[in-house]
Homo-oligomer: A and B are copies of this chain.
Amino acid sequence: MTLRASKATARVPDPSCRTVRITDVAAAAGVSAITVSRALNTPQLLSKTTLRRVLAAVDRLGYVPNLTAGALSSRRSRMVVAIVPTIASPMYAEALQAFTRTLAASGYHVLLGLGGFDSEDEERLITAMLGRQPDGVLLVGAVHSPTARRRLAEAGVPIVEIWGDSAEPLDIQVGFSHRGAGEAVAHHLCDNGYRAFGIVSSDDPRALERLDGFRAALERRGLSLLVQRLLPPPSTVLDGRRVLPDLLDALPRGAAVFCSSDMLATGLVIEARARGILIPDDLALCGFGDLDIGRAIEPALTTVSVDGNEMGQLAARCIIDRLSGRQIQQRVALPVEIVRRQTT
């Protein structure tokens, strides 16, 4: 058999791309590639001396492991996808931040996906993200596309849904009852003597669920909502200011308004003061989210406190624990608390 060049010649090894590979480290340390791999991933398996020698070589050569190759080989990417409607809202941002930090401490990186589109885009986004072979997925809010839901379920990795309390979570759920929060606000207001009610809400599924809970609780007490204004998300302080006149037209003096966010409630407070309307005597307010601004505004907002930070952290813990094979709780319901300040 004649000696000849292989039919399909090898891919040219680009000389400019002189990255250090695991085999370079192995050669430098006088060990095999697998030993270098172990030095970095499971150092307890190596003898002290070998470990030291390998780590010295890693340092000397400035070796940075190619995690893409590692992921392909080990089928563990150490990446987690987070799909969030927006990070412009401090509530979600806080949860995402805690999520990312907690995961980073265990060596996981977060792939950020911004949803908030139509169902078809959402499906494309989720599909593409799943193609990255994440070790887990965080979802804020429900996923509607059935194809996307099926793909998520079939991905075989932990899926955590936060901020919601859907009846049919895909896998793990860390949230609180939006309905229950709305009901609690209704009871708080009723118990404090208010008898006329309005709502200003962002037109967002979770806010609407709170609204439903609020209205249902009122109806059970024979009371009803006199006015309801929906605003396109994200809701801003300025939106709150602008919406006040509408509310005043529809409500008697001494009414109470439930706002779907502290932003809106803050706007109402500002506009009310500008018009000489007394809070809570002329108009009582309850916000949602317990944001910094609500604590700082004068009068300070009565609000519903939910801990976005804890939610993000818990979601991350769930994923980490599940991946380490520990048993976890599939449904975690966080408490929501009504913090009474000066607007009720």
Tell me the A residues contacting B by CB distance below 8 Å.
Answer: 17, 62, 64-69, 71-72, 75, 77, 79, 82, 86-88, 90, 93-94, 96-97, 100-101, 104, 107, 109-114, 125, 127-133, 151, 156, 236-238, 240-241, 263, 266-267, 270, 273-274, 292-293, 295-298
Contacts beyond the supplied A17-B156, A64-B130: 6 A-B pairs with Cβ under 8 Å: A17-B75, A67-B133, A68-B71, A86-B97, A109-B112, A263-B292
**Which of B64, B151, B274, B296 is A238 in contact with, Cβ under 8 Å?**
B296
Cα A240 to Cα B296 in complex, Å, equals: 9
Give 10 A-B contacts (CB < 8 Å), ordered by A residue.
A64-B131, A68-B71, A72-B72, A88-B93, A90-B90, A93-B93, A97-B114, A237-B292, A263-B292, A266-B293
With CB as the reference atom, state the residue of chain B lying closest to A297: B270
Asked if B100 and A114 make an inter-chain contact with CB atoms under 8 angstroms apart, the answer reads: yes
Cα A292 to Cα B17 in complex, Å, equals: 47
Asked if A87 and B93 make an inter-chain contact with CB atoms under 8 angstroms apart, the answer reads: yes
Asked if A270 and B292 make an inter-chain contact with CB atoms under 8 angstroms apart, the answer reads: no
Cα A69 to Cα B82 in complex, Å, equals: 21
A131 partner residues in chain B, CB cutoff 8 A: 64-67
Cα A114 to Cα B82 in complex, Å, equals: 14
Q: Which 6 A-B pairs have the closest CB atoms?
A: A237-B296, A67-B131, A238-B296, A236-B292, A112-B112, A110-B112
Cα A201 to Cα B127 in complex, Å, equals: 44
Cα A237 to Cα B296 in complex, Å, equals: 6
SS of A interface (majority): helix
A266 partner residues in chain B, CB cutoff 8 A: 293, 296
Cα A90 to Cα B263 in complex, Å, equals: 13
**Which of B87, B90, B236, B238 is A97 in contact with, Cβ under 8 Å?**
B87
Assess A127 versus B64: contact at CB under 8 Å? Given A69-B72, A266-B293, A296-B241: yes
A94 partner residues in chain B, CB cutoff 8 A: 88
Asked if B129 and A238 make an inter-chain contact with CB atoms under 8 angstroms apart, the answer reads: no
Cα A293 to Cα B90 in complex, Å, equals: 13
With CB as the reference atom, state the residue of chain B lying closest to A235: B292
**Which of B68, B293, B297 is A68 in contact with, Cβ under 8 Å?**
B68
Residue among A77, A86, A112, A236 with most chain B CB within 10 A = A112
**Which of B114, B130, B296 is A267 in contact with, Cβ under 8 Å?**
B296
**Which of B240, B263, B296 is A270 in contact with, Cβ under 8 Å?**
B296
Min CB–CB distance A110 → chain B (angstroms): 5
Asked if A77 and B86 make an inter-chain contact with CB atoms under 8 angstroms apart, the answer reads: no
Assess A238 versus B113: contact at CB under 8 Å? Given A87-B93, A130-B64: no
Cα A240 to Cα B298 in complex, Å, equals: 13
Asked if B133 and A114 make an inter-chain contact with CB atoms under 8 angstroms apart, the answer reads: no
A292 partner residues in chain B, CB cutoff 8 A: 236-238, 263
A87 partner residues in chain B, CB cutoff 8 A: 87, 93, 96-97
Cα A64 to Cα B110 in complex, Å, equals: 20
Asked if B128 and A109 make an inter-chain contact with CB atoms under 8 angstroms apart, the answer reads: yes
